[in-house]
Chains A and B, each alone.
Chain A
Amino acid sequence: MSARENILSRIRAANKSAGNAGSDSARVAGRLSNPVLGPRPNLDWDPEEQFIRKSVASASTIAQTDSMENVPGLVNQYLTESGLPRSGVCWGEFSQLPWAENEIEMEFRPATGDDKVGVTGCDCAIAETGTLVLLSSPDQHATSSLLPETHIAVVRKRQILKTMEDVWGFLRERPSGLPRQVNFISGPSRTADIEMTLVYGAHGPYRVHIIIVND
């Protein structure tokens, strides 16, 4: 017998000897097709306010605007104020924005180890924890939010969902199902592995700047 068969039959035998009825296939099928929604904490807050509060708590910075057209200007402002280079890589969906007019040299390709700034959108966001949800796809390179030292994310206000459970609703409705990777990002990369002291920029970005667009 294969390792697989051995392990599965040992599980069945173990469950039986521990006095369980064993696997209940009807119950399993039921739970898979009708997932159990667990108890959730008090969610009595405004999603946008909570998203901002929690993002700031996980060391992201926030800018807000009412038009997508203003995004390159806000990116310029942030990079200039932070003393960062005004060049980077960006997801394809923002290729039509006026980057050059705002003195930003933007390329629309996956990031390499040398790129200093990565601009991404997001597929949705979670208010409860201040989390960006980025799905991998041919146009949405996972590297853009990972390799550069600065990650700038554009979030449309209507993309802010309340909880992670709401993200599952969004993903289950997607015709192509789950992408290769769903990345939940809450603030800049960090570590506390030396003397429990918090340091930003362990391997990923040192900074996450979020631009919320209310259009």
Chain B
Amino acid sequence: MEITSHQFKKTASLKLRDQKVQSALGKAKGKFVVARERAVKELDNLEEIRQAAADMRSHCLENLDSYLEEWEKNATAKGTVVHWAESAEELNSLVVEIAKRNNVKKIIKSKSMIGEETGLNRFVEGHGIEVKETDLGEYIIQQAGEHPSHIIAPATHKSKDDIADLFAEKHQTPRLDDIEALTREAREILRPHFLTADMGITGANFMIAETGSTVIVTNEGNGRMTTTMPRVHVAISSIEKCIPTLDDFALINRLLPRSATGQSISNYVSMTTGPKREGDRDGPEEFHVIILDVGRTRVLGSDLRDALRCIRCGACMNHCPVYQNIGGHSYGWVYPGPIGSVLTPAYKGIENALDLPNAATFCNQCGVVCPVKIPLPDLMRKLREKQFMRNLRPFAERLGLKVWATLAMQPFVYSILTRTLARIGKLIGGKKRYLRKFYLVGSEWTKQRDMAAPQGRTFREIYGERQNLSKKEDVR
């Protein structure tokens, strides 16, 4: 996928003014939050489970080479063909190679964010092979020629009316006005494709080293179709998705669906180990797994490595006040929200996503809900520091920070200056006690809102006074 994160401010402003997007986001925001809240209440020891899951994911990363080798050994023993891809291009070429060798004309695809990363669909179609997305949200997005705006609800920015128009146009059918009927129409259009496709592509939520299995977690059943109906199945995954044992999956699976959709368990958890066995009457004849790097090993060696614990539940974006208002497309690449603000610069280059780590209030809602305790605000702060150190911030901002740093190291000057400014602020604020407009510094801020005027004394003055008081109390 082409990265457009450098247009963040422009896209975000457009989305903020787009009534349709705002109404769709408004509907989604409460539902995700309430559903998760209700589902995690079922776990009386949520914090203990989160800590165990975070520790398990860290342990995986520390021993990743060994677990991947173990996974490969066990997968191969069951007849899975394992491929490794260092780059997006390599992964795409491997998929086309497998398809061509098997004379594949049509592919059905279950949702995969890695496929979005590598631009797989466009590449495969360029080789004359038809690809059908089958997750309802992804299908809608594919029909509309757009990109997903959310990692688990790809079409969350679209309204029922948008989809009704889209289906009527693309399917050449009468326009439907009802969500159930629209879903049924998509089912009926896609069913023949499931039954006639030559190859299925899925992602993998996890790879289990102990058994050499891949696991996908879905609700619609398209994942089961994709892994069962076609004669060739290709799963695309990335190195960090490997976990040690079946029990580790049971642990993480108490958190993933609850954090994502607010379910105790997703409708379908499908664990695949190798192709069709002797005597089996369904299942693919060939099962391939392609394991991708593209940036993961670089992040593993950096101070952002905790981000690799991510299990792609989407809770961080669902709870993010910034995401809730601007939606996923503003972020300009595959992963939106707080995790996207870390992964996009980490994978695509800090200089290509300068605004993302800064588009955060650091309220830490993302950190609080993350099932594997990724310290997202800390990671964004590290990215801000890197931007500053590499002189990637605008001149005025760097100058401002330098001036402030110089002053802060001279406590006496600093206190005189802040006292003076606070008193001037009070004067200007007047009876209304609000500052309406800033010049030079902070003018962007006051474009949107007023600032409460300081009320005369600085923090240090009040603090110092209280210290003195309590000293007197002690003496008494």
The residues of A with any CB-CB pair to B shorter than 8 Å are 2-4, 6-8, 10-15, 17-18, 20-25, 27-28, 31-32, 35-39, 41-42, 54, 57-58, 109-110, 113, 128-131, 136-138, 141-143, 146, 163-165, 168, 171-172, 177-197, 199, 201-205
**Contact of B361 with A by CB under 8 A:** no
Contacts of A203 in B (CB 8 A): 134, 187, 190-191, 194, 220-222, 225
Contact of A178 among B213, B225, B265 (CB under 8 A): B213
CA distance A136 to B227 in the complex (A): 12
CA distance A165 to B247 in the complex (A): 6
B356 CB, min distance to chain A CBs, angstroms: 23
Contacts of B227 in A (CB 8 A): 181
Given contacts A129-B264, A181-B271, A36 and B248 within 8 Å (CB-CB)? yes
**Contact of B280 with A by CB under 8 A:** yes
CA distance A10 to B244 in the complex (A): 20
Cβ-defined contact, B250 with A164, below 8 A? yes
Chain B CB count within 10 A is highest, among A17, A130, A142, A194, for: A194
Contacts of B62 in A (CB 8 A): 15, 20-24
What are 22 of the A-B contact pairs (CB < 8 Å)?
Answer: A3-B90, A18-B303, A23-B62, A23-B64, A24-B62, A25-B66, A32-B209, A35-B244, A35-B246, A38-B53, A41-B43, A41-B44, A57-B264, A146-B228, A179-B273, A183-B269, A184-B265, A191-B219, A192-B261, A193-B135, A194-B140, A199-B183
Residue of B nearest to A110 (CB): B281
Contacts of A41 in B (CB 8 A): 42-45, 49, 254
Contacts of A193 in B (CB 8 A): 135-137, 140, 153-155
A199 CB, min distance to chain B CBs, angstroms: 4
Contact of B63 among A14, A24, A136 (CB under 8 A): A24
CA distance A36 to B267 in the complex (A): 26
Majority SS at the chain A contact face: loop
- Contact-size category for B: 35 or more
A86 CB, min distance to chain B CBs, angstroms: 23
Q: What 0/1 pattern do residues 271 to 283 of B give for CB contact below 8 A with A?
A: 1111111011111
Given contact pairs A58-B267, A181-B227, a sample of 16 additional A-B residue pairs in the complex whose CB atoms are under 8 Å apart? A24-B62, A35-B245, A35-B248, A41-B49, A42-B45, A138-B277, A178-B271, A180-B272, A180-B283, A181-B272, A183-B269, A190-B219, A191-B183, A193-B140, A202-B183, A204-B267
Contacts of A131 in B (CB 8 A): 265, 269
Which of B24-32, B320-328, B402-410 is near enough to bind chain A?
A: B24-32
Residue of A nearest to B78 (CB): A178
Cβ-defined contact, B300 with A35, below 8 A? no
Cβ-defined contact, A180 with B301, below 8 A? no
Contact of A191 among B28, B86, B136 (CB under 8 A): B136
Contacts of B43 in A (CB 8 A): 41
Residue of B nearest to A129 (CB): B265
Cβ-defined contact, A184 with B210, below 8 A? no
Contacts of B263 in A (CB 8 A): 58, 186
CA distance A100 to B246 in the complex (A): 42
**Contact of B112 with A by CB under 8 A:** no
CA distance A179 to B78 in the complex (A): 10
Cβ-defined contact, B27 with A194, below 8 A? no
Contact of B224 among A14, A57, A204 (CB under 8 A): A204
Cβ-defined contact, B267 with A185, below 8 A? yes
Contacts of A37 in B (CB 8 A): 247
Cβ-defined contact, A178 with B85, below 8 A? no
Cβ-defined contact, B135 with A179, below 8 A? no
Given contacts A142-B228, A146-B228, A202-B222, A180 and B280 within 8 Å (CB-CB)? yes
Cβ-defined contact, A183 with B137, below 8 A? no
- 6 interchain residue pairs of minimum CB distance: A204-B221, A14-B301, A38-B251, A202-B220, A138-B279, A193-B137
Contacts of B136 in A (CB 8 A): 191, 193-194, 202
Residues from 287 to 318 in B contacting A, C-beta threshold 8 Å: 291, 293, 297-298, 300-303, 305
Cβ-defined contact, A23 with B63, below 8 A? yes
**Contact of B67 with A by CB under 8 A:** yes
CA distance A35 to B27 in the complex (A): 42
B176 CB, min distance to chain A CBs, angstroms: 11
A115 CB, min distance to chain B CBs, angstroms: 12
A88 CB, min distance to chain B CBs, angstroms: 17
Chain B CB count within 10 A is highest, among A58, A138, A191, for: A191
Cβ-defined contact, B49 with A196, below 8 A? no
CA distance A146 to B267 in the complex (A): 12
Contacts of B48 in A (CB 8 A): 39
Contacts of B220 in A (CB 8 A): 189-191, 202-204
Cβ-defined contact, B297 with A14, below 8 A? yes
CA distance A213 to B152 in the complex (A): 37
Residue of A nearest to B194 (CB): A203
CA distance A82 to B358 in the complex (A): 56
**Contact of B417 with A by CB under 8 A:** no
CA distance A18 to B53 in the complex (A): 21
Cβ-defined contact, B273 with A180, below 8 A? yes
Contact of A7 among B86, B137, B210 (CB under 8 A): B86
Residue of A nearest to B191 (CB): A113
Given contacts A7-B239, A10-B293, A180 and B275 within 8 Å (CB-CB)? yes
Cβ-defined contact, A39 with B52, below 8 A? yes
CA distance A171 to B211 in the complex (A): 11
Cβ-defined contact, B86 with A6, below 8 A? yes
Residue of A nearest to B192 (CB): A113
**Contact of B56 with A by CB under 8 A:** yes
Contact of B250 among A163, A177, A189 (CB under 8 A): A163
Cβ-defined contact, A136 with B283, below 8 A? yes
Cβ-defined contact, A186 with B265, below 8 A? yes
**Contact of B69 with A by CB under 8 A:** yes
Residues from 27 to 74 in B contacting A, C-beta threshold 8 Å: 27-28, 31-32, 42-45, 48-49, 52-53, 56, 59, 61-70
Cβ-defined contact, A146 with B264, below 8 A? no
